[in-house]
């Protein structure tokens, strides 16, 4: 029996290779959970120690912009999932457009995020010597903003990396290096993108909705 040229030497068949590809990505995502987990644990401890201060400081974050950004990422996950479906069905053009749409959603997310960072800069809410806060316990509030920038910053870096990965995948699809038969590259890049979406799904309520606005 002749081997498919798509199967690497160490694998018996394509199915086994596909599973190994996915397994490797999931292991990597587990390490990413721990990477973000340190910050989530830090957040949990400080919020437990000063819940009122966190609730008050959270009101300085724009609920609407954060909500729009959540919607943007959820839409990007849809286009990503549809991109995978397209390559599985061998629709090359649709795959490229859907991957580019996902990238554009990612860039829109970063743009809105950048606008929010600028707002915080103008309001002197970036931790450091110029930090100024009128509410109760400014030192603890500064900790909230430190966590806000650390968590959203690390997440934003992941979005940026995701955009780079997906645009590379789009180019490879356009050059017919990734085809219907070896769609796994799209699947694995998609896993990373959906993971980044999930991180934001938790960041939004924890940071923006920490205090009831009613």
Partner 1 sequence: MIVPAKTYFKVWGALLVLLLITIGAAFLDLGPFNLPFALLIAFTKAALIVLIFMHIKGSNPLLHLAAGAGLLWLAIMLVLTMNDYLTRNNITWLPK
Q: In the complex, which residues of this chain contact partner 1 (CB under 8 A)?
A: 19, 22-23, 26-27, 29-34, 37-38, 40-41, 44-45, 48-50, 63, 67, 70-71, 74-75, 77-78, 80-82, 85, 88-89, 137, 139-140, 187, 190-191, 194-195, 197-198, 201-202, 204-206, 209-210, 212-214
Nearer of residues 51 and 121 to partner 1, judged by Cβ: 51
Nearer of residues 85 and 179 to partner 1, judged by Cβ: 85
- The whole-angstrom separation of Cα 214 and Cα 212 is 6
Nearer of residues 96 and 199 to partner 1, judged by Cβ: 199
- The whole-angstrom separation of Cα 101 and Cα 140 is 40
Alpha carbon 206 to its chain centroid, in Å, reads 15
- We find the least distance from the C-beta atom of residue 206 to partner 1, in angstroms, to be 8
Q: Taking a C-beta distance cutoff of 8 angstroms, is the pair 137, 193 a contact?
A: no
Nearer of residues 122 and 212 to partner 1, judged by Cβ: 212
- The whole-angstrom separation of Cα 46 and Cα 142 is 11
- We find the least distance from the C-beta atom of residue 70 to partner 1, in angstroms, to be 5
- The whole-angstrom separation of Cα 147 and Cα 116 is 15
User: For residue 91, what is the DSSP state?
Assistant: -
- We find the least distance from the C-beta atom of residue 111 to partner 1, in angstroms, to be 19
Q: CB burial class (10 A; 0-12, 13-18, 19+) of residue 54?
A: buried
- We find the least distance from the C-beta atom of residue 2 to partner 1, in angstroms, to be 26
């Amino acid at each position: 029996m002749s081997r498919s040229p798509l199967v690497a030497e160490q694998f018996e068949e394509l199915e086994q290779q596909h599973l190994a590809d996915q397994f490797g990505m999931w292991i990597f995502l587990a390490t990413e959970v721990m990477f973000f987990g340190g910050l989530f644990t830090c957040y949990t401890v400080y919020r437990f120690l000063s819940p009122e201060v966190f609730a008050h400081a959270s009101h300085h974050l724009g609920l609407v912009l954060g909500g729009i950004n959540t919607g943007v990422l959820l839409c990007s996950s849809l286009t990503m999932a549809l991109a995978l479906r397209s390559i599985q069905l061998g629709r090359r053009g649709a795959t490229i457009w859907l991957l580019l749409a996902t990238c554009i959603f990612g860039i829109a997310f970063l743009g809105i995020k950048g606008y929010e960072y600028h707002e915080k800069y103008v309001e002197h809410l970036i931790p450091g010597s110029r930090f100024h806060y009128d509410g109760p316990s400014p030192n603890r509030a500064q900790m909230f903003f430190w966590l806000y920038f650390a968590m959203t910053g690390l997440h934003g870096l992941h979005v940026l990396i995701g955009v780079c990965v997906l645009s590379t995948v789009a180019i490879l699809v356009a050059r017919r290096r990734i085809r219907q038969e070896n769609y796994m590259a799209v699947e694995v890049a998609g896993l990373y993108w959906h993971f980044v979406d999930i991180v934001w799904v938790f960041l939004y309520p924890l940071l923006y909705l920490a205090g009831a606005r009613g």
